[in-house]
Amino acid sequence: MTDITKIRELYPFKSNFMTINDHQYHYLNEGKGSPVVMVHGNPTWSFFFRNLVKRLSVNHQVIVPDHMGCGLSDKPQKYLYRLETHVENLENLLTSLKLENITLIVHDWGGAIGMGFAMRHSDLIKRIVIMNSAAFSFNWIPLRIALCRIPLLDDILVRKANVFVRAAQYMTTVKPIPDLVKLGYRLPYNNYANRIAILRFVQDIPMSPDDVSFEPLLEIEHGLWMFRGLPIAIIWGMKDWCFSPKILKRWKIYYPEAEIHELEHAGHYLMEDAGDEIDDIVEDFLQRYP
């Protein structure tokens, strides 16, 4: 179990666990009111949304899971870390909590995972906030990510050298990340075994029909139209070299009526670059569409 004592002032939340196939799936469940579900990506965890949780839990029930292998969830070494598995885990959690009228907030891989759940339970989704993420197929990834997918080299870079987590602390923001916040991002991934899901996420990026998660991703992509009539806010860090503005253009095609907030001064970890501004945007969005 990861000891988070050192970052308790930043992450002062009660831990909740759900058992899924004999593994512990960690999630936050803060506040009361209409539910807001936040879905993180790779290599982050629920810590990414910590300040937004504090803000919104004043008036809402805020649920933030750690994907299996991430954050404070178990990190089984022999596990099927696939897109479909992560969607199923999220589905198990949210249906067990019997949530309705969900506001869904997604970032990075959370886009595909969160929208995968939404497609299965479209009647439960009432509002969507999309941050730098994707839930559709694409045929290009940055060289920095591609290097971490090369067989043998991937294990060395991502798990042994911890390059993926460490590099993210310098390549994903415009502003320097404070040391204690860096520690918060690193804590759950402090050894070779604990970095298993980070590598599997990278390996699972579906680039072609030969990839296992390609068909599940296409199903999610084809279901995006179902949410065109909902209130949707897209908040985008325009200095993101991975989920770049050209990914934002794809979202605009799927959701032409969405309200767009382009943050010129923010990168991929946009919550670190523009957290207060984003908190205001999301809270205002929720108030305007109660």
11 and 50 Cβ atoms separated by less than 8 Å: yes
In the prediction, which pLDDT does 238 show? 98
CATH number, domain of 110, equals 3.40.50.1820
Number of structural domains the chain divides into: 1
Q: Which residues of the chain have pLDDT under 70?
A: none
**Residue among 141, 137, 81 nearest 112 (CA):** 137
Amino acid of residue 193: A
Range of the domain at 127: 5-288
- Summarize pLDDT for 70-84 with one digit per residue, the tens: 999 999 999 999 999
In the prediction, which pLDDT does 72 show? 98
Report the distance separating Cα 86 and Cα 66, nearest Å: 10
- Which phi-psi region, left, alpha or beta, contains residue 15 (left: φ > 0; alpha: ψ -120 to 50)? beta
DSSP state of 15: P
Q: What is the pTM of this model?
A: 0.97
Report the distance separating Cα 62 and Cα 27, nearest Å: 10
In the prediction, which pLDDT does 17 show? 98
In the prediction, which pLDDT does 1 show? 72
In the prediction, which pLDDT does 140 show? 84
- Summarize pLDDT for 92-150 with one digit per residue, the tens: 999 999 999 999 999 999 999 999 999 999 999 999 999 999 999 988 888 889 998 99
Q: Are strands 259-263 and 16-20 parallel, antiparallel or unpaired?
A: unpaired
In the prediction, which pLDDT does 134 show? 97
242 and 204 Cβ atoms separated by less than 8 Å: no
DSSP state of 20: E
In the prediction, which pLDDT does 253 show? 97
